[in-house]
């Protein structure tokens, strides 16, 4: 897994996140190659001759790419999944989609945390989580991929890390709506606190560790994404609050807003497991156009009174 003069890293996906990671790792002296779905004539399998493959494609493209590359994947080649979301049809995370197609025993890790690509690209400092069930892969990635502006911490909970990274995008849309309606600091704090509770319910239900909720991939990522205009999901929520339709808001953001598909996938999971997720439910209805932003707020405020923490 090691190279004398830096790692040979292949990056699948050249969106904002993929390009940012490539820039960081090039500065560290690693050798980078990349592939994008826009490379019509390019074969991503040609990038499997590497020390590490990094998947940074949008969630919607993960399954097709995993099916395409799985049969050709060397079993000792590690994968680092950086995609955030839940598959809307299979209701699993990105690394779980990859695991269905990769050879048994393939080393897999996920990267998640408060990592706004624009800030990292400008050299601003950040920290993130490398999560893997493989006891050797996590420390190896941490040692080789940490740099002057990106500090990596290890964790053993990849599914919980991915669940938190996915759900925070839905709550970030809600935060954008909250700020767009100028509901104030009290409302915003209440929303994020109750939103964190909903993230925790899904995280635990999918088998994640409770400690993950309060780490970089949970609370850390939520705080960054729900408070910054650099967040696509937050901006999308602000546009919904301004009265734009989902289609018009997506057109104005002009980039992938993962929280839209994740909201629907989360509601599908909630129906399957009988989870009660009122904030996600209202965001799903708002995205579908069946409620207005003001009506969604009234619905949340008018819910039956209950204990904050269930006994």
Please, is 228 exposed, middle or buried when counting C-beta atoms within 10 Å of its C-beta (0-12, 13-18, 19+)? Answer: middle
Active-site position among 84, 168, 188, 306: 168
Compute the distance between CA of residue 131 and CA of residue 77 in angstroms, rounded to an integer: 17
Q: What is the 3-state secondary structure (H, E, C) of the chain?
A: CCCCCCCEEEEECCCHHHHHHHHHHHHCCCEEEEECCCCCCCCHHHHHCCCEEEECCCHHHHHHHHHHHHHHCCCCCCEEECCCCECCCCCCEHHHHHHHHCCCCCCEEEEECCCCHHHHHCCCCEEEEEECCCCCHHHHHHHHHCCCCEEEEEECCHHHHHHHHHHHHHHHHHHHHHHHCCCCHHHHHHHHHHHHHHHHHHHHHCCCCHHHHCCHHHHHHHHHHCCCCCCHHHHHHHHHHCCCCHHHHHHHHCCCCHHHHHHHHHHHHHHHHCCCCHHHHHHHHHHHCCCCHHHHHHHHHCCCCCCCCCC
**Do the Cβ atoms of 217 and 155 come closer than 8 Å?**
yes
Catalytic residue check, 168: yes
Compute the distance between CA of residue 232 and CA of residue 240 in angstroms, rounded to an integer: 12
As annotated, the active-site residues are 168
């Amino acid at each position: 897994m090691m190279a004398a003069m830096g790692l040979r890293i292949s990056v699948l996906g050249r969106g904002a996140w993929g390009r940012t990671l490539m820039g960081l790792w090039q500065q560290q002296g690693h050798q980078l190659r990349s592939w994008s779905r826009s490379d019509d004539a390019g074969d991503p399998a040609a990038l499997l001759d590497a020390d590490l493959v990094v998947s940074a494609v949008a969630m919607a493209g993960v399954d097709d790419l995993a099916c395409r590359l799985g049969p050709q994947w060397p079993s000792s080649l590690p994968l680092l999944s950086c995609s955030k979301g839940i598959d809307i049809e299979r209701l699993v995370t990105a690394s779980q989609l990859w695991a269905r197609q990769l050879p048994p025993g393939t080393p897999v890790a996920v990267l998640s945390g408060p990592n706004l690509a624009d800030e990292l690209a400008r050299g601003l400092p950040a920290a993130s989580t490398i999560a893997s069930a493989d006891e050797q892969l996590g420390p190896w990635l941490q040692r080789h991929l940490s740099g002057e502006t990106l500090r990596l911490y290890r964790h053993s909970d990849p599914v919980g890390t991915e669940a938190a990274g996915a759900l925070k995008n839905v709550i970030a849309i809600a935060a954008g709506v909250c700020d767009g309606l100028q509901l104030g600091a009290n409302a915003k704090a209440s929303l994020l606190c109750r939103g964190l509770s909903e993230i925790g319910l899904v995280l635990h239900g999918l088998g994640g560790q409770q400690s993950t909720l309060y780490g970089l991939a949970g609370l850390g990522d939520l705080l960054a994404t729900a408070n910054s205009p650099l967040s696509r999901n937050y901006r999308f929520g602000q546009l919904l609050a301004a009265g734009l339709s989902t289609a018009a808001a997506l057109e104005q953001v002009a980039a992938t807003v993962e929280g839209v598909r994740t909201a629907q996938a989360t509601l599908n999971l909630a129906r399957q497991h009988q989870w009660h997720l009122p904030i996600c439910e209202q965001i799903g209805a708002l995205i579908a156009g069946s409620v207005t932003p003001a009506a969604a707020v009234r619905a949340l405020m008018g819910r039956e009174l209950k204990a904050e923490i269930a006994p």
